[in-house]
Amino acid sequence: MSILMNDSTRVIVQGITGRIGSAQTHWMLEYGTRVVGGVTPGKGGMEVEGVPVFNSVLEAVKETGANASVFFVPAAGVLDAFLETIDAGIKLIVIVPEHIPVKDVLRMRSYALEKGVFALGPTTPGILVPGMGKMGIMPASLFQPGRVGIISRSGTLSYEFAGILSESKVGQSTVVGMGADPVVLRNLADILELFENDRDTDAVIIVGEVGGEQEEKAAGFISRKMTKPVAAYIAGRYSPQGKKMGHAGAIVRGSTGTVAGKHEALKNAGVAVLDSPIDVAKWAKKNKLK
């Protein structure tokens, strides 16, 4: 099947009446996603792209049976809307916006984990299941159905890897953006576990970047639990030490978080470390992936 999204996923779009929210609702619907409603407080009763807009998440859930939500809410309002969404019973949340204060992310993460909610982001392109649907902003043209899972810290690099695989006739089971912030709502190992347990995924690609310790920690999980082949690429080899490359997640602090450190940890866990994105095509061929 796929991970996170399936045939019964019914999506609401929060912030649907905004410029980005409405444009992305169009693309999600066009890709076949079951978008059942939208939420913007005060704009209830409107329609966007033929989808009904509600004033609250609870109302949207009651009226549409929604069980998943994707956020295009301005950063300052995300914490509030996130807590509302969890309290309304939604179990899968994708936080696309960037520049959300870390203090808010810490609270969001803590509440989501407490309530058993699977949340991705912030600063994530979301989830895409080729041929089935997507929650977020991934551009559909680059993806093909298949059996390789992708997890990426960077949005645009997830498109790059999917695009290279698709051109080599290797499809994807699910593509997941975990978010590019220094603190994200779910760690890499949690998503790897979903792919390990997914019958329709044969192998997984990790697209990481310099900074943080997600890849190092995931290496421990891989050596203990993963039976499927895993490949990894880490961006940022020539990023000057200590210089900030856009996301705070990419700051090099001390020895943890360097490209070399991540390569070593992943290699020790049996992961195929890719020097360059294009090498993913060779790796897929060698492992006879489709």
**Segment 35-74, which members bind other proteins (CB under 8 A)?**
none
Yes or no: say if 198 and 149 are a contact pair by the CB < 8 Å rule.
Answer: yes
Provide the residue type at 210 as one letter.
V
The three-state secondary structure class of 182 is: coil
Rounded Cα distance between 156 and 160, Å, is 6
Residues 6 or more apart in contact with residue 128 via CB below 8 angstroms: 31, 134, 135, 136, 138, 140, 143, 162, 172, 174, 175
Question: Residue 62 or residue 253: which is nearer to other proteins going by CB?
Answer: 253
Q: Tell me the CA distances in angstroms from 268 to 171, 203, 253, one per residue in order.
A: 27, 18, 22
Which residue of 62, 103, 267, 290 would you call a contact of other proteins, by CB under 8 A?
103
Question: Residue 56 or residue 164: which is nearer to other proteins going by CB?
Answer: 164
Q: Which two tokens stand for residue 128?
A: 């895409």
- Which span sits near other proteins by CB under 8 A: 35-43, 79-87, 155-163, 196-204? 155-163
Near other proteins in 202-221, by CB under 8 A = 207, 209-210, 212-214, 217
Which residue of 9, 69, 144, 154 would you call a contact of other proteins, by CB under 8 A?
154
Contact between 255 and other proteins by CB under 8 A: the answer reads yes
Which residue of 32, 65, 74, 101 would you call a contact of other proteins, by CB under 8 A?
101
Which residue of 59, 98, 190, 264 would you call a contact of other proteins, by CB under 8 A?
98
Rounded Cα distance between 290 and 145, Å, is 9
**# of chain residues touching other proteins (CB under 8 A):** 73
Active site annotation includes 247: yes
* Residue 65 Cβ vs other proteins, minimum distance, rounded to whole Å: 28
**Which residues are identified as catalytic?**
247
